[in-house]
Amino acid sequence: MAEFTMTASNATGKGKPDPSFSSAGNAGTAIAKYGKENVTDATLGVLKDENGDFLSLPTVNKCYRELPANELMDYAPIPGLKDYLDAAIANAFKGHQPKGTYTGAVATPGGTGAIHHMIFNYVEKGQKFVIPNWHWGPYREIAEENEREWEMYQMFDENNEFSRKNLKDAVSKLLETQDSVMTIFNTPAHNPSGYTMTDEDWEDIMNFYRECAKKPNKKIIILWDMAYIDYAGDPDEVRSFLKYFEDLPENILLAVAYSMSKSFLVYGMRSGALIGVSSSKTVAEEFANVNTFSNRATWSNGSRGAQKMLAEITADPQLKASVDKERAQFSEMLANRAQIFIKEAAEENLKILPYEAGFFITIPAKDSAGLANKLAQNNIFVIPLKEGIRLALSAVPTDKVPGLAGKIKAVFAGH
């Protein structure tokens, strides 16, 4: 007999924990039992210091706390404060906004809010958008919540290289039955692999999209999820691919999911922006209008304090320089952790996905839930994904990294 439910039919069964993954254990319980020094908690995508404690950028912390009560606590306008939107655009592009384009932007609660609006407003109900098999899970959850679907392509080929072919095949297939296709790209420092798409990747893919867009009834939407960009190396280099978006035809739209969460280490303050980029002023205005409406109809407005803080930091060269300096130090610490792990993984013959930068390293694996459980028994806590285990090196103090690849390899070998 069907289980009794009080929900509307669209919500029935939603949110049930997956029993195969829930037994991976709880790092917090192990820390209480065995002590922090004996536990490696590589679960959460947040940056932790060398003691395993929460990290914040000191200048960000100070700037936020010095805001007057009204700027912290009053409502923000529905689309976001004007100076925030200008600051978000400036931080997203850092001088690389594609030539010959207009922008339309709204504030959102983090990158998540931006992705939500794109799936809701730019994918037809019941139709599909394109994501790689390695992806951030909420893309799917947002789709399910909003009765949209997705098509996955194999992100890496048998040589562990990014497969542009697989991506193009997936888009071409959908264009046979849909007039509009959105593809989500999380780069640089992709979650969960750490892969950064190269300029050659982008050049090739944009040529392909321009070809697709020659059919005037087709609409090509590219959602750039840039959540980890500030930990991915030189700010100009990681944005140089935007040159391939110059002088777009009006049926190609670029949307940018900008997030303050990682860039300013303010995950819980829930602030980001959705920026539409188009060669058509009308498309950019429409973008701002529909997403402002969705703000009102979904969460009303964003957090004013976070918005004001970004506006102030961006407008003040000294503040900005000190935030950049602090972040650069953290970024170096993260790169160092990754370097140690990657070197040892190679020595241990432990295959990882192609990592360039970012918070995570992922090890492909078949029985990921079983392996995560075994690792948990060894006080190593990771996130099991469908096809591998994800290690958040962002959360692992550097002195716990040496030897970690070897311990994981031993668990894999005995499984």
- Sort strands 149-153 and 128-132 into parallel, antiparallel or unpaired: parallel
Site size toward ligand PLP, by CB under 6 A: 13
What does the per-residue mask of binding to ligand PLP show for 161-190, with x meaning CB under 6 A?
A: -------------------------x----
Task: Give yes or no for residue 305 binding ligand PLP (CB under 6 A).
Answer: no
The correct pick among 191, 278, 279, 368 for binding ligand PLP (CB under 6 A) is: 191
Q: Cα Rg for the chain, rounded, in angstroms?
A: 22
- Helices 317-348 & 58-65, crossing angle to 10 degrees? 140
Does the CA dihedral 23-24-29-34 come out positive or negative?
positive
Torsion of CA 71, 75, 77, 79, to 10 degrees: 100
Quick one: 227 or 248, whose CB is closer to ligand PLP?
227
Task: Give yes or no for residue 227 binding ligand PLP (CB under 6 A).
Answer: yes
The correct pick among 80, 111, 302, 397 for binding ligand PLP (CB under 6 A) is: 111
Task: List Cβ<8 Å contacts ≥24 apart for 372-376.
Answer: 372/21, 372/24, 372/25, 373/23, 373/24, 373/25, 374/411, 374/414, 374/415, 375/407, 375/408, 375/411, 376/24, 376/25, 376/30
Quick one: 112 or 368, whose CB is closer to ligand PLP?
112
Of 8-16, 108-116, 209-217, 246-254, the window that binds ligand PLP (rule: CB under 6 A) is: 108-116
Of 29-37, 104-112, 341-349, 370-378, the window that binds ligand PLP (rule: CB under 6 A) is: 104-112
Quick one: 224 or 381, whose CB is closer to ligand PLP?
224
What is the CA 219 to chain-centroid distance, rounded?
A: 24
Quick one: 202 or 224, whose CB is closer to ligand PLP?
224
Quick one: 266 or 283, whose CB is closer to ligand PLP?
266
Q: How far is the CB of 374 from ligand PLP (least distance, A)?
A: 26
Task: Give yes or no for residue 259 binding ligand PLP (CB under 6 A).
Answer: yes
Question: Residue 106: which residues within 8 A CB-CB, separation 6 or more?
Answer: 78, 79, 80, 85, 117, 273, 274, 288, 291, 292, 295
Q: How far is the CB of 112 from ligand PLP (least distance, A)?
A: 3
Task: Give yes or no for residue 225 binding ligand PLP (CB under 6 A).
Answer: yes
Task: Give yes or no for residue 261 binding ligand PLP (CB under 6 A).
Answer: yes
- Sort strands 272-278 and 102-108 into parallel, antiparallel or unpaired: antiparallel
Start-to-end Cα distance in the chain: 38
Task: Give yes or no for residue 41 binding ligand PLP (CB under 6 A).
Answer: no
Q: Which two tokens stand for residue 179?
A: 């007039």
Quick one: 195 or 287, whose CB is closer to ligand PLP?
195
Residues in the chain: 415
Quick one: 374 or 388, whose CB is closer to ligand PLP?
388
Task: Give yes or no for residue 45 binding ligand PLP (CB under 6 A).
Answer: yes
- Helices 304-315 & 317-348, crossing angle to 10 degrees? 100
Quick one: 63 or 266, whose CB is closer to ligand PLP?
266
Q: Which two tokens stand for residue 352?
A: 């990882």
CB 334 within 8 A of CB 48: no
Quick one: 112 or 373, whose CB is closer to ligand PLP?
112
- Helices 404-413 & 368-377, crossing angle to 10 degrees? 120
Residues between 265 and 294 with contacts to ligand PLP, criterion CB under 6 A: 267, 272
Residue 70, judged by CB atoms within 10 A of its CB (0-12, 13-18, 19+), counts as: exposed
Q: How far is the CB of 116 from ligand PLP (least distance, A)?
A: 9
Q: Which residues sit at the interface with ligand PLP, rule CB under 6 A?
A: 45, 110-112, 136, 186, 191, 225, 227, 259, 261, 267, 272
